[in-house]
Amino acid sequence: METDAVQYVHTPVLLNETLHYLAPQHDNALMIDATLGEGGHSYAFLSQFPTLRIIGVDADPAIQEVARQRLASFGDRIHFYSGWSHTFFAEYPSEIKRPDIILIDLGISIFHYEKSGRGFSFRKNEPLDMRLDASFGPSAADLVMQLPERELADLIYQNGEERFSRRIAHAIVEARSKSRISTADALASIIEGAVPASYRHGPIHPATRTFQALRIAVNGELSRQESLLDSALRVLENGGRLGVITFHSLEDRIVKNFFREKNKDCTCPPEAPICTCKGQRVVSLITKKPVGPSMEEIKINPPSRSAKLRVVEKILEEAL
């Protein structure tokens, strides 16, 4: 039973599906929860598989402290690493057992929207920060105030797939020339005023895509993603499984293409007359297509509606 001492605001998505596809194949397996968050997935895995051990990784000390309290009853079956998961895998110590299971949930926890106080939500009067690690790199406010208009528009379009990116960037530059844009709700108001009325009353808030774009840029989500997948797969034990949960098309495309390449027997260019790479598949696709949430899960937990799970099994050690 989970303690009531701490209130958890995030519901782990595709929980039954991850428990099914990433179930340990033997006793005393080691799992890496590479995006620990509040520890919801880890709690379920540790509860269901009594000999499983987990290392939980998260770049945000505040949310990791919540997970520490939540998972304290599991004692030495859970260990914690504070930092970015791509760094954790890149520096994985050779003396530690290699993991049999790796779970990477690329979504942002509801904790960050509701409790972090860092401006992830466009509905709140909070400092416009959006950094998962608040000690590292420029904040969202820094980008909004410093980027040239064209670069800002490109960022919003590329990371947010926002069709009104140029109008929004222009409005931001106009507004910042008069006063500093320092809070999330102030930025949201500028965006609302920049887009057509029909867009303001559409199915999603008009600031959604711009906030996504800024969050991705601030945390280097897409730029880190391929190195994260590559280093995680290299660390994974042969026969082990890697599962990745994505929430938007940009990150899912990276995962899909990465897994597809690792599933190829031949990596020669299409125009090559004969195969010279002597390649072999590194992974086997466990999920041929992405696994989505059930209608019941979407009803209970609406943020799960865009979640996709892809799972591969490692079948070959790549040469360095």
Last residue in a domain, options 187, 219, 251? 219
Q: How many domains does the chain have?
A: 2
pLDDT tens series, the chain, 320 aa: 454 455 666 789 999 999 999 999 999 999 999 999 999 999 999 999 999 999 999 999 989 999 999 999 999 999 999 999 999 999 998 888 999 999 999 988 787 778 888 898 988 899 999 998 878 889 999 999 999 999 999 999 999 999 999 999 999 999 999 999 999 999 999 999 999 999 998 888 999 999 999 999 999 989 989 999 999 999 999 999 999 999 989 999 999 999 999 998 876 777 777 776 667 899 999 999 999 999 999 999 988 999 999 999 999 988 65
107 with 240, same domain?
Answer: yes
CB neighbours (10 Å) of residue 131? 22
Backbone angles phi, psi at 257, to 5 degrees: -70, -40
pTM, entire model: 0.87
Pairing, β 78-82 against β 53-58: parallel
58 burial type by CB count under 10 A (0-12 exposed, 13-18 middle, 19+ buried): buried
Are 192 and 163 part of one and the same domain? yes
Measured CA to CA, the distance from residue 133 to residue 115 in angstroms comes to 15
The CATH code of the domain that includes 29 is: 3.40.50.150
Range of the domain at 94: 15-112+221-314
